[in-house]
Amino acid sequence: MFPNQNVLGGAPFNVARHLKAFGQNPVLISRLGHDRLRDEVLELMSQQGMETLGIQCSNRYPTGRVLVHIKDGVHQFEIPPLQAYDFIHPAMVRMAALSVHPSMVYFGTLAQRHEISRRALKTLLRSTEATNFLDINLRNPWYDAKTVRQSLHYADILKLNDDELNLLSELLALSASRPHDRVRELMEQFDIERTIITCGAEGSWQVDRDGKRVDSKSNVSIANLADTVGAGDGFAAVYILGYLLRWPTVMSLDRANAFAAAICGIRGAIPDHVDFYEPFTQEWYA
């Protein structure tokens, strides 16, 4: 919820929306309230052909909201407690997972702030043999060392930005001083296959289990910056797409950088029209 308008979003929703537009069949698992916002979410998902199999509804708690405050040009996020997504039912999640047989599970840390949804995530991960993609998304005050450690143990692929790498270094008392060495230490400690670090306008880089590093320098300029909300989610979606389609690593990073930059040119995390995706699909699937 911006000061002047409301836009649909949330990292898992954003990633699912992008992947659907790029020809995949994501199943979003979440819980919505019995309210107007729920109707808006379900209507948009229906319009875009998104699967609603994993959507649960709550009569007690509201559909999740994030209040976006803009101070000195910087976006600050206020995330209220006790939202419907804090109470995702584990048994319903297991049923969804068993019917879908996913090849990848994308998850973050915010949905683990309450015990019930934390248990639902554990149930999901135990019900599949999918590759687990952790987008760490550290939002104060909704994470702690225990949740972060458990999430890292689940992860096969880890994505975080350079600020989050610094936070993890402090939280987990990593001993290395250089970013590359910190990532290697983190991956060895939690048996992670690959880690992607995003650096905003500077681009991104990846380290694999063997310590091989691949860099992607962003060469995309943003002519009309609207905001940076959802840029990381756009990056994650395209990286996942590249992983599923077996693109070379540098191609996945380059294309993820370009798409994230394009997201910065619109208000909010997802475009209003499917036409937004056409230049990318025409280039990538040519």
- Model confidence over 239-282: pLDDT tens digits? 999 999 999 999 999 999 999 999 998 887 889 889 999 999 99
Collapse the DSSP code of 101 into the 3-class scheme (helix H, G, I; strand E, B; otherwise coil) and give the result: coil
Question: What pairs with residue 267 in β-bridges?
Answer: none
Q: Is the residue at 65 inside a domain?
A: no
Strand order across the 104-107 sheet: 104-107, 131-135, 157-161, 194-198, 204-208, 213-216
What is the distance between the alpha carbons of residues 186 and 114, in angstroms, rounded to a whole number? 25
Residue 286, pLDDT > 90, answer no
| Cβ atoms 116, 82 nearer than 8 A | no
Q: Which of 73, 76, 116 is nearest to 226 (CA)?
A: 73
Closest residue by Cα to residue 256 from 204, 221, 207: 204
Query: Which residues constitute the domain of residue 190?
Result: 11-28+88-284
Q: If DSSP codes are grouped into helix, strand and coil, which group holds residue 78?
A: strand
> Residue 196 domain-assigned?
yes
If one counts the domains in the chain, the total is 1
pLDDT of residue 59: 95
Asked if residue 223 is part of any domain, the answer here is: yes
Residue 6 lies in a domain: no
> How far apart are the C-alpha atoms of 186 and 205, rounded to whole Å?
15
The per-residue pLDDT for range 92-149, each reduced to its tens digit, is 999 999 999 999 999 999 999 999 999 999 999 999 999 999 999 888 888 999 999 9
What band does 154 get if pLDDT is binned at 50, 70 and 90? very high
3-state secondary structure of 129: coil
160 assigned to some structural domain: yes
Output the domain CATH number for residue 161. 3.40.1190.20
Answer whether residue 146 is part of any domain.
yes
Contact 7, 40 (CB under 8 A): no
The tally of CA atoms less than 13 A away on the side-chain side of residue 84 is 20
Strands 194-198 and 157-161: parallel
Q: Percent of the chain, pLDDT > 90?
A: 81
64 within domain boundaries: no
Tokens of 157: 């692929």
Rounded Cα gap, residues 270 and 264, in angstroms = 10
In the predicted model, is pLDDT for residue 220 greater than 80?
no
The answer to the question of residue 137 being in a domain is yes
